[in-house]
Amino acid sequence: LREVGMLMGFKWGCATSAYQVEGGWNADGKGESDWDHFVHKHPEKIDDGSNGDVACDSYNRFREDVQLLKNMGANMYRFSLSWPRILPTGDPNNVNENGVQYYRDLIDELWANGIEPIVTIYHWDMPQVIADKYTWLDEEIVEKFVDYCRIVFERFGDKVNYYVTINEPWAIAAGGFDLGIFPPYKVGTVQKGKLGLSLDTWWNEPADPNSQEDIEAANRAMEFKLGIGAYPLLHGCYPPSMRERIDKNSAAEGRDTSRLPTFSDEWKNKIKGAYDFFGLNHYSSQLVTTPARAPKACPEIRWSIGKPGFDTDQDIFQYHDPTWPSTTTWWCKFVPWGFRKTLNYIKNEYGNPEVLVTENGCSGERSELQDTERTNFFRGYINDMLKAIAVDGCKVIGYSAWSLLDGWEWGAGNTVTFGIHHVDLEDPLKTRTPRDSAKFLGNIFKNNGFVKG
């Protein structure tokens, strides 16, 4: 690929998010975020009771992080801005200049080392002052988010070419509400960067590829998972199977209106086409059939527990093929071909947009430096991505591995580690050590693809 110039300008790098690595939770004028609030109030909700108060201390150690990327030959870094570090109370007239300076320094440091910043504007942490009043179910929050985006574009627009607006709206919706999210829309502020949002999906494979029922079930699973975010961006409405089933079930429940909202014409116009690139977070795959056809021995995978909700409406049964190799995270099986199929699905269903892989990776043991399993994971997934580009014609413009560091892993706290660099949490210096996977990816980054032999 490299030799025929197919990967010219390809972006190779790693990803993190503010709350997972920065620490400095109340440093230099940063406001409290909803995650700060939540973990301080409810440590019992986190597997090991830990929090991201200090995490990898990237707030103080970002120059080291940039060197890690540089050592790997990365030419991009996907990180997120902490909303309350920039707007402590959400009020755009009250900008925390220290916070702005921190990100400007990080961005300058990246460019100075030949690394392009890919900026996620919202990776799940918002000012608590806003969270006290609104959630993503309130339309008022759109205005707050736009205020924030405007400041981001004003302060960083001269230095950033790519923004991811929202990381994984599906995860935000399913985790927080089970249903309902407004896709972001284009804002009128002057900035030259490209906008996209990061949508997460596993690949849904029909359990029996010869069964029409399974094929339809897998299609529903894709539409309910990826389509909920992607389809409105393309067509201005929700995907056909969601519309049909949720409308029907809502009527059967005796409701006057469907549980699935309909966009007004104003919103349709705002949403449709409101992206320049398609950000994809992809980790793993699952088999899909109908509940009636479910195999007896396999445990069902449930991502959403609300009823009525996704589960009833989708009418699917999801499980893992027991022969798929496991990783230390139960939902993350090693299924590289699912990545290629996902990229082809996006190409075929959404008009072959430019895709930026904003997350891909797997967890491993915290103590291990020779992370063979993770290295194999990257080898397999990148290989299949390259096939999608070269053989299938998918327009993938870049790839960022999750994650540069052993970040704090939300509800799993510090019990799960996704880093290609080990971070010694006991050590006040939070010493970073490259694992084998970092060296492996470094070779790929430096050579713009696999090296022969």
CB of 418 to ligand FCB, least distance (A): 5
Is residue 170 a contact residue for ligand FCB (CB under 6 A)? Answer: no
From residue 29, alpha-carbon distances to 32, 88, 94 in Å are 10, 7, 11
Residue 49: partners with Cβ closer than 8 Å, 6 or more residues away: 43, 413
- 35 near ligand FCB, rule: CB under 6 A: no
Name the packing angle between helices 58-72 and 97-112 (round to 10°). Answer: 20
Element (H, E) at 372: helix 372-390
Per CB under 6 A, 167 contacts ligand FCB: yes
Per-residue interface string for the shown chain with ligand FCB, residues 320-359, x marking contact by CB under 6 A: ---------------------------------------x
By beta-carbon proximity to ligand FCB, the closer residue of 329 and 376 is: 329
Residue 32 CA to residue 125 CA, distance in Å, equals 9
Q: List all residues 6 or more positions away from 235 whose beta carbon is below 8 Å from its beta carbon.
A: 272
Can residue 410 be called a binding residue for ligand FCB (CB under 6 A)? yes
Give the list of residues 6+ apart from residue 240 with CB closer than 8 angstroms, or none. 223
- 281 near ligand FCB (CB under 6 A): yes
Task: Report the amino acid identity of residue 226.
Answer: L
Q: Between 267 and 410, whose beta carbon lies closer to ligand FCB?
A: 410
Specify the stretch interacting with ligand FCB by CB under 6 A; choose among 2-10, 89-97, 165-173, 301-309. Answer: 165-173
Q: Which window, 30-38, 310-318, 402-410, 438-446, contacts ligand FCB (CB under 6 A)?
A: 402-410
453 vs 437: CA distance, rounded Å = 18
Number of residues that bind ligand FCB (CB under 6 A): 12
Residue 165 interacts with ligand FCB (CB under 6 A)? no
Nearer to ligand FCB, 267 or 402 (CB): 402
Q: Which residues contact 380 (CB under 8 A, 6 or more apart)?
A: 334, 336
Bridging pattern class, strands 285-289 and 203-206: parallel
Whether residue 17 is preceded by a cis peptide bond, meaning omega within 30 degrees of 0, is: no
Interface with ligand FCB, residue 402, by CB under 6 A: yes
CB of 429 to ligand FCB, least distance (A): 24
Q: Considering the complex, what minimum distance in angstroms separates the CB of residue 407 from ligand FCB?
A: 7
> Is residue 168 near ligand FCB by the rule CB under 6 A?
yes
Estimate to the nearest angstrom the gap between the alpha carbon of 176 and the chain centroid. 16
Q: What share of the chain is helix, strand, coil (3-state, %, to 5)?
A: 40, 15, 45
Subset of 178-237 contacting ligand FCB (CB under 6 A): 200
Segment interacting with ligand FCB (CB under 6 A) among 166-174, 233-241, 306-314, 426-434: 166-174
17: contact with ligand FCB by CB under 6 A: yes
Beta partners for residue 421, in sequence order: 405, 434
Q: Which stretch binds ligand FCB (CB under 6 A): 164-172, 231-239, 267-275, 384-392?
A: 164-172
DSSP run (H or E) holding 111: helix 97-112
In angstroms, what is the minimal distance from the CB of 55 to ligand FCB?
12
β-sheet with 203-206: strand ranges across: 203-206, 285-289, 317-319
CB-CB contact of 122 with 19 (8 Å): no
CB of 243 to ligand FCB, least distance (A): 26
List the helix and strand counts (H, then E) for the chain. Answer: 16, 13
Return the active site residues: 168, 359
Q: Which is nearer to ligand FCB, 171 or 298 (CB)?
A: 171
**Counting contacts by CB under 6 A, is residue 65 touching ligand FCB?**
no
Region of 33-41, 163-171, 348-356, 387-395 interacting with ligand FCB (CB under 6 A): 163-171
Q: Site for ligand FCB (CB under 6 A): which residue of 117, 409, 420, 438?
A: 409
d(CA 310, CA 304): 7
Minimum gap (Å) between residue 18 Cβ and ligand FCB: 10
Compute the least distance from the CB of residue 173 to ligand FCB, in Å: 13
**Looking at 39-47, 167-175, 188-196, 425-433, which segment touches ligand FCB (CB under 6 A)?**
167-175
CB of 402 to ligand FCB, least distance (A): 5
* CB atoms closer than 10 angstroms to residue 44: 7
Asked whether 21 and 56 are in contact (CB, 8 A), the reply is: yes
Among residues 317, 418, 440, 445, the one that binds ligand FCB under rule CB under 6 A: 418
Q: Which stretches of the chain bind ligand FCB, using CB under 6 A?
A: 17, 20, 167-168, 171, 200, 281, 359, 402, 409-410, 418
